[in-house]
Structure 1
Amino acid sequence: MLDQKLSKKYEPSTRIDDVFKGYDITFLTNEHGEPVTLFFGKRRPDGAIAGERYTRTIKRQLDSLEVKSSHWDLRGKVTRG
């Protein structure tokens, strides 16, 4: 599932291009390797995605990097880069 991909940790501050159920996805990670921006739709020839953009809000345990909770918010349509 998509939430499994987005709950993993990846290389810090990087861009990951992937495919999920026939849709192109790109996500950007923060300095801890956690996905924080997601583009979901159809990849254009220049590599950008036309579709929707989501951002993630992460709340951490007090004095820790452990994630207490997080949620994704739809930020709107993306039609050009």
Structure 2
Amino acid sequence: MPLHRLLDQKLSKTYEPSARIDDVFKGYDITFLTNELGEPITLFFGKRRPDGAIAGERYTRTIKREPGSMAVAHSHWDLRGKVTR
């Protein structure tokens, strides 16, 4: 299942490098982890539990770069499965 267009736009931005960002999107709790360049690379989508973890789905991002530069040529998100713990 592809990500919602507005969520994909939100995750296309650059954030603080190597960070964990907790947020809400359309009534769902989201947490994403960024790489050393501040690009979101792991997304947890669902309902936040009292301990701060999310029960729902986990996605990972594949980033392809322009040859010889750090510019993103293409990226996509893959559903990696359910997160229940």
> TM exceeds 0.5?
yes
TM-score when scaled to structure 2?
A: 0.93
Q: How does 1:6-21 map to 2 (within 5 A)?
A: 6-21=11-26
Query: Alignment RMSD, CA only?
Result: 0.4
Uncovered stretches (5+) of structure 2, i.e. residues with no partner: 1-5
Decide which of 67, 73, 77 is 2:78's aligned counterpart: 73
- The reply to whether residue 40 of structure 1 matches residue 65 of structure 2 is no
Identity %: 85
Q: Which runs of 4+ in 1 moved over 2 A?
A: none
SS of the residue 2:11 aligns to: helix
Structure 1 residue 4, shift from structure 2 partner: 1.5
Uncovered stretches (5+) of structure 1, i.e. residues with no partner: none
TM-score when scaled to structure 1?
A: 0.97
Length, aligned pairs only: 80
CA displacement, residues 4-39 of structure 1 (integer Å, 9 cap, x when unaligned): 110000000000000000000000000000000000
